[in-house]
Amino acid sequence: MAFFEVTSANADRAQKFYAELFDWQVQADPQMGGYALVDTGAGIGGGIGPSTAPGDTGVKIYMRVDDLDAYLDRAERLGGKRLVPPTDLPGDFGRFAIFTDPDGNQVGLWA
């Protein structure tokens, strides 16, 4: 697992909630439109950010892969559904994609 993400209709509230609940270090990144990077102190970091579309709130895990398209194709062959095609992240944060598993759970890929 590469990182996790919490998406909320009220990102500021979610950032404060998780920071206070788990004593996480949450740093807003002004270049990322309200998105904050999270240091859990436990090795796996993440982010907490605003919702960008109806129904996209929740928690996602992101798996690090070397080929986004190949893994999206594999997920579809196994019964998953491609939701977000490979997309560039701002700065030097790489690229990501999102699919759903056969049960509808959203899973992110990061390269």
Q: What confidence tens digit (pLDDT) does each residue in 24-53 have?
A: 999 988 888 889 999 999 889 999 999 988
Handedness of CA 13, 2, 97, 28 (dihedral sign): positive
pLDDT class of 17 with cuts at 50, 70, 90: very high
What are the beta bridge partners of residue 39?
A: 25
pLDDT class of 60 with cuts at 50, 70, 90: very high
Amino acid letter, 34: G
Whole-number pLDDT of residue 8: 94
What SS3 class is residue 86? Answer: strand
What residues contact residue 26 under an 8 Å CB cut-off, 6+ apart?
15, 16, 18, 19, 36, 37, 38, 39, 48
Give per-residue pLDDT as tens, 61-102: 999 999 999 999 999 999 999 999 999 998 888 999 999 998
Give me the mean pLDDT over the 7-16 stretch: 94
Amino acid letter, 3: F
Q: What is the DSSP letter of 89?
A: P
